[in-house]
Structure 1
């Protein structure tokens, strides 16, 4: 008698992952990716299950880093200025924890001057992680001592301080470059290079597309902005002439102009009342528009901010701003 065997084969692929964090760099190094196939079938009325062997694959550490200059544009500085501030961010874009020694280069080509190293240090780490340089709070960077150690996706803000030579002129630029390089990579940094057992959890470490090192450059721009004030006077006496006699009126005109690059912030003009004169009420104007004598919502006052002075606030001015014209009158006592 011949027995009938009916078999149905089902292949089930079961992939088991360890506890891996969701991160931009991918699965964490050291995670064991296991894989096992299962066949289920029937022989007659019997159900049979057979498992394959289990394969194991340990995820390697992929080493990548990104350095980015954070300032919105060139940082404005004046000739001879000290501690010009550039802000950078070093981000671990790999999948494991990595330490990144830093290096600074202030002698770059393609600019007009080399910024000077500051004392005691030109590189500081954002100790309180607020993204703002705090003198006396943020730590000076010492290579080999406090190299930033960053988990995957973590970053450290780094501040570069540079002194500006006194000999620079308006519109000159000076550049500084910050480089972060992974400490694990002690030899070749060619992408794909493997360092056996050097990764997290004893995994292999592999150089990523960043070549485990990155550099970005920040720029100082010399802004020798200058505010100039030219003052003139005209006299009208009670007889229709221009003699400076008691009762004559003096009209003062002040012209405010700006030259150079950058912005003069919070420009305020003050002018004391000359001795032996009395301010003529209601004569203060800015660009032909009348200003009240009292200290109120407009841009000027007479004696309100400082007794005996005309005060006019002009705000922020650049070389493209129109000439600011201030006029007021006094009478000779």
Structure 2
């Protein structure tokens, strides 16, 4: 029997009539049961019964009446135990993996989920660390944002800017809130570099060694007790640089009317353009154009892409066109590390 159980047993009063007590020597057959009466909630919570709930316990004794007939039943005094608040919190990155970005971009977003895993309503202080050791670059921290409309997506102008100590999120047991960290990516970041951003949450009532008690500070009027998380938690999200660039190389091959390679009137110049994408990111809306040189005439129908002929008309549905002054080829989206080769021909006037 624990000390608490022993103390509660000593508080049980027979409250017998004096005549019955003298006759039977207070021969009691105690049947003690536990009753959880007047609970604030019967729903199961992450950390169990809600803080501030009163656990009510009354024992009973029955004995035979000295006169016979119906047995007599009496109640003990009522023992009420108020459930303390457990202080616990969890922080989890909501992004499925590294968030791709590029150098010199602002308002880049990482998303986290902060959950009150305790059993009482609690406020939490949030902080962001953008200078974690071991990564390749640090972002410039801009803001921490609270998901005020609960849709899990950062909505500029709708979601709330967080200011520590002013609008610390207050969460009910099991309640979660999405938190966004906005950052600026430095121009010096290179393709493939990663940056670690950590969000931490700390219970405002207190944090530290599990089991530490804050007397009278629990939700509902009881004590607050630090739970297994230490009433603080943190998790990291990551940015990864997926940069891209394009190099364009042009070369010329001459075929003269005599089968030689001299640039004489009537010679054909075959121009070759090689576009190369550099980096891990896609290049979007890539388009190549080239003016027809003076003293030459474009040789119609000679545009090719990867060796396949393209039409000269912009309306013919393929990627090539000639507008009378220049040729153009629309390459669209090209993954990093690939090349596209274009050729066309002109005749020296």
Residue 73 in structure 1 maps to residue 97 in structure 2: yes
Give the equivalent residue in structure 2 for 1:27: 49
* Greater radius of gyration (CA): 2
Measured after TM superposition, the shift of residue 215 of structure 1 is 1.5
Query: Is 1:317 the counterpart of 2:341 in the alignment?
Result: no
Q: Tell me the SS of whatever aligns to 1:327.
A: strand
Moved more, 38-47 or 242-251: 38-47
Contact 1:273 1:279 in 2 (8 A): no
> For the residues of structure 1 that align with 2:83 and 2:71, how far apart are their CA atoms?
36
Structure 1's unaligned 5+ residue stretches are: 1-7
After superposition, the Cα gap between the structure-2 partners of 1:10 and 1:167, relative to the gap in structure 1 and judged at 3 Å, is closer
CA contact (8 A) 2:213 2:226 kept: yes
Query: When the two structures are superposed, what TM-score results if normalisation uses the length of structure 1?
Result: 0.76
Structure 1 residues 130 and 316: CA distance shift in structure 2, 3 A: farther
Of 150, 160, 175, the match for 2:171: 150
The 3-state SS of whatever aligns with 2:109 is: strand
Distance in 2 separating the partners of 1:130 and 1:294: 48
2:147 counterpart of 1:126: yes
Deviation readout 1:91-150 (Å, 9 max, x if unpaired): 2222222111112223322233433344xxx32222333333333333322111111112
CA RMSD of aligned residues (A): 3.7
1:173 aligns with 2:173: no
Contact kept? 2:214, 2:225, Cα under 8 Å? yes
Query: Where does the alignment leave 5 or more consecutive residues of structure 2 unmatched?
Result: 1-28
Matched with 2:251 is 232
Partner of 2:124: 100
Distance 1:50 1:238, change over 3 A: farther
**Contact between 1:71 and 1:86, CA under 8 Å: does it hold in 2?**
yes
* Aligned positions of 1:104-253 closer than 5 A: 104-118=128-142, 122-185=143-206, 189-244=208-263, 248-253=267-272
CA distance in 2 between partners of 1:32 and 1:242 (Å): 100
Within the candidate set 257, 266, 272, 2:276 is matched to 257
Give the equivalent residue in structure 2 for 1:277. 297
Q: Is the 8 A contact 1:267 1:317 kept in 2?
A: no
Distance 1:233 1:211 in 2: 71
Check the 8 A contact 2:268/2:348 in 1, yes or no: yes
Aligned length: 316
SS at structure 2 position matched to 1:203? coil
- SS of 2:237's equivalent? strand
Q: Determine if contact 1:102/1:178 at 8 Å carries over to the other structure.
A: yes
